[in-house]
Structure 1
Amino acid sequence: MIASLNNHFTRLTDRPDFGKLILRLTFGLLMLFHGVFKLQHGVGWIADMLEQQGLPGFIAYGAYIGELVVPVMIIIGLLTRPAGFIYAFNLLVATWLVHSNDVFTLSRVGAWTLETEALYFLGGIIIMLMGAGRYAVIRNPSYR
């Protein structure tokens, strides 16, 4: 009985390409909010943090790529795997700059302080590993 119900449910829900679309839209759209914030407020504060770490401040402009260009690429399905890699790398850099002291801390409710950052990072990794799927604006599979 349970196996039969599970098989029926599996037949109804076995839609990996639709799942990839939802994944891409979710992580792409959520990251765009961060990118729009950078457009409105600039990346000077990121440049300051980079310079405090002994790195050149112009690297901060990479936030525009990682938080505006790459999410749009992920949403439309353009070079999705490399975009997922850049997305994840962007998260590592952002976490290192802003939350490096929080790696071994918990929030007031007992959650890992970096769980949101980890979720975004792993979302980028999953997108990189799974690719765009069938539902993409880009029709040529060589560019998905």
Structure 2
Amino acid sequence: MKKEMDLGLLLMRLAIGFPMLIYGISKIQNGIAFIKELLIGYGISPLLGYGVYIGEVVAPILIILGFRIRFAALIFAINCFSAIVLAQMDKVFALNDYGGWALELLAIYLIIAMALFFTGAGKYSLSK
């Protein structure tokens, strides 16, 4: 049974790490001006916007590799929570065009990241 659990943890890591890394690559290519504007609107220093690179590039890479997974998953979860609070609060009680919860993707990322924080990376990882 442990073998299947380790494989399941690897699949969870890939399922959230790879897609979020794509978001991070987009931020590298296109910049984070909109995040800085959001932060300024809340009276927060726009320099904190650069943290998105940690949450959407570094943490996903660490999660995929299974290196320092608990720390990486916590950073990832904080990134997702911050995105909800700063940019998606108006969608907390909203449905998307197909009848699903408007925040389902971010919620799934957040919940899986928290699960990885509590479980660790499993056998198929760089660090134990």
The bucket for the TM-score relative to the shorter chain is: over 0.9
- The answer to whether residue 65 in structure 2 is matched with residue 76 in structure 1 is yes
How far is 1:45 from its partner?
1.2
In the other structure, the counterpart of 1:104 is 93
Match of 1:40 among 25, 29, 46: 29
Kindly report which structure 2 residues correspond to 1:1-144, keeping only aligned pairs within 5 A, or say none.
Answer: 15-138=4-127, 141=128
SS for the counterpart of 1:15 is: helix
**Identity level (%):** 36
Stretches of structure 2 that go unaligned for 5 or more consecutive residues are none
CA distance in 2, matches of 1:109, 1:74: 30
CA distance in 2, matches of 1:30, 1:90: 14
CA distance in 1, matches of 2:89, 2:74: 20
RMSD value, Cα: 1.5
In the other structure, the counterpart of 1:8 is none
CA distance in 1, matches of 2:99, 2:49: 32
CA distance in 2, matches of 1:132, 1:26: 13
CA distance in 1, matches of 2:117, 2:73: 4
CA distance in 2, matches of 1:109, 1:22: 26
How far is 1:38 from its partner?
0.5
SS for the counterpart of 1:91 is: helix
CA distance in 2, matches of 1:72, 1:109: 31
How far is 1:109 from its partner?
2.5
TM-score w.r.t. length of structure 1:
0.84
